[in-house]
Amino acid sequence: MSTVQKELREAAEQLQREHPGWGSVVIRIKLLKQATGKMLPSARTFRRWFAQSGLSPAEKGERPASQSSRAEQPHEVWQMDASEEIALKDGSRVSWLRIMDEFTGAVLMTRVFSRGPI
Q: pLDDT by residue (tens digit) across 24-71?
A: 899 998 998 887 767 888 899 999 999 998 887 766 766 666 666 788
Spell out the alpha helix ranges (H) of 1-118.
3-18, 24-34, 43-52
pLDDT value at residue 66: 65
Largest CA distance in the chain: 68
What integer is the mean pLDDT of 62-89?
Answer: 83
Instruction: Quote the pTM value.
Output: 0.48
65, with CB counted inside 10 A (0-12, 13-18, 19+), is: exposed
Q: Spell out the domain ranges in the chain.
A: 3-52, 78-114
Question: pLDDT above 70 covers what percent of the chain?
Answer: 86
DSSP 71: -
74 Cβ neighbours under 8 A, 6+ residues apart: 101, 103, 104, 106
8 Cβ neighbours under 8 A, 6+ residues apart: 31, 35, 40, 41
Indicate if the alpha-carbon torsion angle 73, 75, 80, 86 is positive or negative.
Answer: positive
pLDDT of 3 higher than 60:
yes
Q: How confident is the model at residue 91 (pLDDT cuts 50, 70, 90)?
A: confident
Measured in degrees and rounded to the nearest 5, phi and psi for residue 56 equal -80, 150
pLDDT value at residue 92: 87
